[in-house]
Chain A
């Protein structure tokens, strides 16, 4: 049997990667969402602020999803296989969204003197920035609802559309979109000034309202559609985290309302992390609820040992590099990325 300690450690690396992806790529998705919903007299300024904030960092932020995929198939190959077969269509949609979003963003940045092409590319970028986080949250909902089922011969069944389009997964998709929008708008209040900052502050409040709404809708739906998850969220080991997330959500609302720009960013990050961890705690020990645990999906002691060693060495190089990247380009009111 695979050593449970190694399994837990490997799950923690997965959760850590997911946390990084949720915060950093989540903010980039949110940037695209606000690009789509930019309105008012400062429409262009809003879009420029978003591009400026994302420009140097979005590719590095995107790499977290690649990291997560490799972790999943290295440490939990059976789970990777089950998810890829069960969620074939939603994952293909995520992939399409990521391709369109990346290509739209990169190409738009270099098409300054072709307003029409730029507008279309901007639309591609922003629409796919809504679709991708939606589909990610959607997948999480489908997994928690126990819709990925074994076929009885060692393989897995593809989840039928009727179950993909159930209310709970749709609401988790919308929740993911509103969380991304909230984080992005909050980050942007720190990176802008004056009336532009007010624009993003208002957007953070609107998105926060969305988060509250979809959480309120999601919890009762989970109770009927994803009983394992709902049980842990509302009465089990995840309850303290759920309460904490609720407190952080309220705090986020208060600090945004009172323009406490010194702390808004930290509250938003903490909120996203606690929501994610609450979900993780509620889903544990299942990789594919309720048919496959992480323990059953784990590769082997040999692989997990070597893998964890690689994570330690890799992180020792990665973390300082990331800090350097954000030191060069972030901080308060960064200058426009210049060529």
Chain B
């Protein structure tokens, strides 16, 4: 394996790992505030129980997220020093600002987690505000840097390739930034909501059909379901933005080899680069032209317009994109079904098929989010900065990446296994505590 390949795999797997925790870091504070707020309003102890349980679990996932995020900040330099040397002076600022946002998150999370008994309920609740803001702002700055890699702005290159006319503000607010930010932010909220709902659906299927589980599921589902329609809109905005700024990426996502007027949307199938066609896909007429230009007869540029050496991996990008849009669209269902059933068929919400569907939503939302990142990151290949710097020209000259990759991967596997077993044990312990309390009450009463 070449050092370049090892570096790419290590970076890709670190990102895929970290994002699982990062989305919870963005979504959980909002869910915590909602639930704690419900407790403050209603004084129903079930809400407090939920919020405290979540805050304990979140402490663990946030800690793992903090270290996997550290990994990424190191890897930017360890694996891609020449990229950072080029980009640091242009797009470094959002990273520095992200440092501050992360600080605020870490500080107020500590206060939130350890402060249940030290602060007044009201002060404790209010500490959730900087926590939510910290997460939203972290996303803002990190996505800004990523969007800049797709649509680099805020600098010029002179005849010798030297960087001139640096404008850090223009770099930060690059063309891809607004849509990419909103799409990621809402993805994080959807993932967190469905992940929570999924956990309680499992509990209910195991026969724990109490108020605690019902409310846990309801809060997670309502949260995700409210965001889902907005997420479809931001997804559409991204398609339009990519069409405009990265036409080759769009064509690769769609497996569109030939420039086509009134282009259909092809779902899945095997994109054959040699024959320049997708074998066995499902075609939906005119849909691509509608998505990209809001006009069924618009002409969409195909991959043939671009030199083949700059094509991303068609199979990977096309499949990941199709997974994202199909699974993403399907994630509208739970909300719609619940909305219908809520008044007319409340018993549906306790039925096994519905609960099984809810169990699936958590992993499905995560799959969708990962597929989205694979689409955007692999779709940018072979560039690290689109049309400016290639990935192969930014990799480190140091050697031995593969050995470190194996070591870090082994560590991540062990951490994941331990973390899951500790989270499961946490839930078990809560149940044991409740059972013991009930028994004690019975003994006293009897």
Contact = CB atoms under 8 A, between A and B. Distances in A.
Centre residue among B56, B63, B64 by max chain A CB count within 10 A = B63
A111 B103 contact: no
A59 B111 CA distance: 11
B77 A70 contact: no
Interface stretch (A99-107, A199-207, A212-220): A99-107
A300 B87 CA distance: 12
17 contacts: A60-B106, A69-B73, A69-B76, A74-B93, A85-B397, A88-B78, A99-B68, A99-B71, A102-B70, A103-B64, A107-B60, A111-B418, A111-B422, A158-B397, A314-B96, A318-B103, A338-B117
Q: Is the interface of B mostly helix, strand, loop or mixed?
A: helix
Given A73-B88, A110-B425, A155-B397, 7 more contacts: A60-B110, A69-B76, A96-B407, A106-B59, A303-B90, A303-B92, A328-B119
A80 interface: yes
A310 interface: yes
Contact of A106 (B64, B70, B92, B115): B64
Nearest to B74: A95
A151 B397 contact: yes
Contacts of B383: none
A60 B96 CA distance: 15
Contacts, number: 231
Contacts of A77: 84-89, 92
A161 to B, nearest CB: 11
A60 B103 contact: yes
A28 B77 CA distance: 25
Contact of A81 (B71, B77, B107, B113): B77
A337 B114 CA distance: 6
Contact of A67 (B66, B96, B163, B166): B96
Interface of B: 52, 56, 59-60, 62-64, 66-71, 73-78, 81-82, 84-90, 92-93, 95-100, 102-104, 106-111, 113-119, 130, 163, 166-169, 396-400, 404, 407-408, 411, 415, 418-419, 422, 425-426, 429
A62 B70 contact: yes
A191 to B, nearest CB: 15
A70 B422 CA distance: 33
A310 B84 CA distance: 20
Contacts of A302: 166-168
A159 to B, nearest CB: 10
Contacts of B62: 59
Given A85-B398, A321-B107, A95 B96 contact: no
A98 B78 CA distance: 15
B93 A55 contact: no
A110 B67 CA distance: 17
B84 A67 contact: no
A329 B114 contact: yes
A75 interface: yes
CB-CB nearest 9 A-B residue pairs: A74-B92, A299-B89, A77-B88, A106-B63, A84-B77, A88-B398, A73-B88, A81-B85, A314-B100
Between B56, B84, B96, B119, the greatest number of chain A beta carbons within 10 A of the residue's beta carbon is seen for: B96
Nearest to B75: A95
Given A56-B114, A80-B88, A329-B110, A100 B77 contact: no
A163 to B, nearest CB: 14
Nearest to B119: A328
A95 to B, nearest CB: 4
Contacts of A85: 81, 396-398
A110 B107 contact: no
Contacts of B168: 302-303, 306-307
A12 interface: no
Given A60-B103, A96-B411, A307 B93 contact: yes
A105 B422 CA distance: 13
A254 interface: no
B70 A103 contact: no
Nearest to B95: A70
Interface residues on A, range: 35 or more
A155 B70 CA distance: 25
Nearest to B422: A110
Interface in A58-89: 59-60, 62-63, 65-67, 69-71, 73-75, 77-78, 80-85, 88-89
Interface string A144-168: 0000000100011110000000000
Contact of B104 (A103, A105, A318, A328): A318
Contacts of A322: 103, 107
A299 B74 contact: no
Interface in A287-321: 299-300, 302-303, 306-307, 310-311, 314, 317-318, 321
B3 to A, nearest CB: 11
Contacts of B56: 110, 339
B63 A84 contact: no
A117 interface: yes
A71 B77 CA distance: 13
A63 B425 contact: no
Given A92-B404, A102-B67, A310-B96, A57 B110 contact: yes
Contacts of A95: 70-71, 74-75, 78
B99 A63 contact: yes
A320 to B, nearest CB: 10
B408 A107 contact: no
A80 B77 contact: yes
A110 B114 CA distance: 14
B114 A55 contact: yes
Contact of A321 (B84, B130, B163): B130
Instruction: With a 10 A CB-CB cut-off, give which of B89, B163, B168, B419 has the most chain A CB atoms.
Output: B89
A306 B70 contact: no
B96 A83 contact: no
A105 B64 CA distance: 10
B77 A66 contact: no
Given A88-B398, A102-B66, A300 B88 contact: no
Contacts of B102: 63, 66
A96 B119 CA distance: 36
B76 A73 contact: yes
A113 interface: yes
Contact of A78 (B85, B103, B397): B85
Contacts of A78: 85
A311 B96 CA distance: 8
Given A158-B398, A310-B97, A339 B415 contact: no
Given A74-B96, A310-B97, A321-B130, A91 B111 contact: no
